[in-house]
Amino acid sequence: MQARVTITLKNGVLDPQGKAIKGSLNALGFEGLNSVRQGKIFDIALEEQDKTSAENKIKDMCEKLLANTVIENYTIEITE
């Protein structure tokens, strides 16, 4: 199974990196930007063949390592 985990900052959590990228885009002449927020993805290939147990396993990985659930949200998408 192939899965994609998407991790984004929760609403209200400051994103200085995103703000810096917005500043750089403005400096390059891009206008009309309201906000830029950065997040990350993990593409995980695992041997597990059952979709539900793959999802549960990945949820566990997110809670234990991949996401900081105090400030981040995560979504799991099984892609194949």
- Return the bridge partners of 32, or none: none
The CB-of-80 to a copy of itself minimum distance in angstroms stands at 13
The CB-of-62 to a copy of itself minimum distance in angstroms stands at 11
CB atoms within 10 A of CB 54: 19
Is residue 74 classed as helix, strand or coil in its secondary structure? strand
Take residue 45 and report the two structure tokens written for it.
């290939």
Q: Which amino acid is residue 38, in one-letter code? A: Q
Task: Give the whole-angstrom CA distance, residue 52 versus residue 39.
Answer: 25
40-79: which residues touch a copy of itself (CB under 8 A)?
40-48, 57, 60-61, 64-66
Site for a copy of itself (CB under 8 A): which residue of 11, 12, 16, 35?
Answer: 35
The CB-of-51 to a copy of itself minimum distance in angstroms stands at 14
The contact set with a copy of itself (CB under 8 A) reads 6, 8, 18, 21, 24-25, 28, 30, 32-48, 57, 60-61, 64-66
